[in-house]
Amino acid sequence: MVSAGFRFYAQLNRLLAPERRGRESRWQGADDASVKHAVEALGVPHTEVELLLVNGEPAGFGRRLAEGDRVAVYPKFEALELGSLPRAGPPPAPPRFFADAHLGALARLLRMAGFDTVYDNGLHDDAIVRRAEAEQRIVLSRDRELLKRRELAHGAYLHELRPARQLREVFERFELAGRCEPFSLCLCCNVRLRSADKAAVAARLPPRVRERQQRFCECPACGRLYWEGSHWQRMRARLDELLTPPAPAG
């Protein structure tokens, strides 16, 4: 057996057993145990970790632990504010997501904000990982075992339980506020909407909508129509809360 000390920082402590939070604690495992094995055995998926220091030196997850090693584990750092550094080319594409089986409501909210988000509650974990890696998507999940899979490069564990709070958590973690394209995707199909001529879709509209609304969008996949009605206004208000900077303290 090998024994090593582990200290986790910032929000990673929320994933630990209470007695291990905010302090260095000992972990014992097999002689050939890797840092990844130990970190995940303690409850932290590798997708949540930005930096590992073993005895003060940067290390990778594949590093084998030696007796008496001291390991510091740091979370994903906050992204730099958009525009804080000069860019030689176009800005990077917005992140694309894969919401796992219990996050259907969050998937719709992310699509509302304009972020390409796949949701399929019929897929097993293996299929989720394969598709996420093939399409370079970030897996959003509350399933730590899914996020611990070695083949998964990009994932995020969600601490919040309610969809609206989960949306805020994703916005803050990935600095999404400056990258929104609200109401550009179909909430059901995740396909980019196109403008629809009122005359062409008039027969499909409820009478009151036909009288009051002038602008429409249509999903080219499912044919669903969208307009700026009361539902749109409620969703717009929810999104505005995320896009409005918080008032300064005091």
Higher per-residue pLDDT: 89 or 191: 191
Q: Round to whole Å and give the CA distance between 118 and 137.
A: 9
Q: Region 209-238: what's the mean pLDDT?
A: 89
Residue 7: phi, psi to the nearest 5?
Answer: -130, 120
Q: Are 98 and 138 in contact (CB under 8 A)?
A: yes
- The reported pTM is 0.84
Residue-wise pLDDT tens digits, 2-55 = 999 999 999 999 999 999 999 999 999 999 999 999 999 999 999 999 999 999
Q: Which of 114, 110, 111, 76 is nearest to 93 (CA)?
A: 114
Residue-wise pLDDT tens digits, 101-133 = 899 999 999 999 999 999 999 899 999 999 999
Tokens of 235: 């969703």
Residue-wise pLDDT tens digits, 131-179 = 999 999 999 999 999 999 999 999 999 999 999 999 999 999 998 988 8
Residue ranges of E strands in the chain: 2-8, 25-29, 49-54, 57-58, 70-75, 97-99, 117-119, 138-141, 155-157, 194-196, 216-218, 225-226
Q: Are 104 and 88 in contact (CB under 8 A)?
A: no
Higher per-residue pLDDT: 247 or 172: 172
First to last CA, the chain: 53
Q: Is 155 helix (H, G, I), strand (E, B) or coil?
A: strand
Q: Round to whole Å and give the CA distance between 43 and 15.
A: 6
Q: How far is CA 16 from CA 32, 36, 68, 223, in A?
A: 23, 15, 21, 47
Q: C-alpha 18: how far from its chain's center?
A: 25
Q: Is 124 helix (H, G, I), strand (E, B) or coil?
A: coil
pLDDT at 84 over 60: no
